[in-house]
Amino acid sequence: MRYYSTRNKNETLSFAQAALSGLAPDGGLYVPEEIPQYPCMVKSSLGTMDYRDIAFETIKPYMHDEMPDATLHDIVQSAYTFSAPLIGVLDRFALELFHGPTAAFKDFGARFMARTFAWLRRGEDKPLRILVATSGDTGGAVADGFFDVPGISVTVLYPKGRVTPLQERQIAGLGKNISALAVEGSFDDCQKLVKAALADEALKKRMALSSANSINISRLIPQAVYYAAAAGRAFAGRIDPDGEATPRANLKARAPEFASQAPRSGLPITLCVPSGNFGNLTAGLYAMKMGAPIKRFIAATNINKTIPDFLASGEYLARVSQATISNAMDVGSPSNFERMTAHFSWEEMRRIIMGVSVSDNETRQAIVRVHEEVGYFLDPHSAVGWCGVDKLRTENKIGAENAEPVGVLCTAHPAKFSEVVQPLVGPAPVPASLSRAMERAVHSQTIPAEVSAFIEAL
């Protein structure tokens, strides 16, 4: 597979080149020349295959000729020691993407990326420095994925005071090859600093640089896997049993319909994606194009609604991000919009994506309502998705539950955002990985949101 920059279709490069450079020198994002199709055999077995086998089949065509099958096989086996259960909750499905080590979906991309980078860099002696801007969750997932990987160091930039204490410990508590910079500014500022450094020729002469944001294609592709797995299972009429690691364990009172629901087989699912930088949704679009049985998407944002507005009007207006209780989605100028437009026109996007925006108050109400009705804990990001579905259902923009099955991507574990969740519905059970992270001390350096300060820190 060859890749090109969204700003220059004429020059192509390999997966390794696209992955290791992160952002194209012209400021564009790398996209595959074409989106491959699942072979018929794979497509018809998505509902029964093991997660790791789906990962292998999904990722393989994107690395064709570059990574031996045996290596890819080993990477997906060691990266995905957890999976993505699809369970029934009330009138819809929850796709739980928070069973990885940092309790948010970003583990799926980051763990694959770290292993792939380590393999791509085998035999190199110049150390590689990875720059990553985070609104909260990316930093922790990337730090965890790359922790202790020889020959690679990571610098995480996060908006000072805008991440939770737990997120800060996941980012700045590991030490060793992971360093953390607290930037006096917003996530968009952090992202600008990373883009500026990656475009700085003088700096690149001094050190090998790459990025690990969702702008990196090697993080994006593995995220297509859980879409295919979930859509395949829903299509086959199979959902996962009540897993022990999920927050609903330990609950006394459970509504009878909870987790008892089975989807009607043979229907493609509509998936609602709580979105910020739109890497997750873009990966979903890839899965759909590859042939996963997905009917359409709902792009649910908080009040940072650049893309829902674009879908409605056809006009793209980037803005300054506003702080919300779903802070990993506080993005006013989503990077992956460039990727979406590389593959789809506005008209096509409107056919397959419905936009919806949700306020903090509505988000809180959704957390309370779902907990009251069925004892299920939503984190604020997942609650944006949940509420987005409610709003579209009220407006009759999506079909009834037996005609159009809907799944909400639950992007983080509720215990990860206890500052919001606990005052509303009490404490969610805490996974062991999170209690361990809370015990770490924070080591970070504060810098102003200026390129010169950032380069000096590097």
Ligand X SMILES: *Cc1c(COP(=O)(O)O)cnc(C)c1O
Residues found near ligand X in the complex (CB under 6 A): 104, 106, 137, 214, 274-281, 328-329, 381, 411-412
Residue 267 structure tokens: 């229907």
User: From CA 303, how far away is CA 257, in angstroms rounded?
Assistant: 32
- Contact yes or no for 6/343 (Cβ under 8 A): no
Q: Nearest approach, Cβ of 220 to ligand X (angstroms)?
A: 9
- Contact yes or no for 366/90 (Cβ under 8 A): no
Q: Nearest approach, Cβ of 407 to ligand X (angstroms)?
A: 15
Q: Nearest approach, Cβ of 420 to ligand X (angstroms)?
A: 12
Question: End-to-end distance of the chain based on CA atoms, in angstroms?
Answer: 33
Q: Counting Cβ atoms within 10 Å, is residue 212 exposed (0-12), middle (13-18) or buried (19+)?
A: buried
Q: For the chain, give the number of residues.
A: 458
C-beta closer to ligand X: residue 192 or 381: 381
* C-beta nearest to ligand X: residue: 137
Q: How many CB atoms lie within 10 A of CB 292?
A: 26
DSSP 69-100: HHHHHHHHHHH-SS---EEEETTEEEEE---S
Q: Nearest approach, Cβ of 232 to ligand X (angstroms)?
A: 21
Q: Nearest approach, Cβ of 214 to ligand X (angstroms)?
A: 5
Q: Nearest approach, Cβ of 211 to ligand X (angstroms)?
A: 14
C-beta closer to ligand X: residue 329 or 392: 329
User: From CA 390, how far away is CA 410, in angstroms rounded?
Assistant: 15
DSSP 258-297: TTT--PPTT-PEEEEEE-SSSHHHHHHHHHHHHT--EEEE
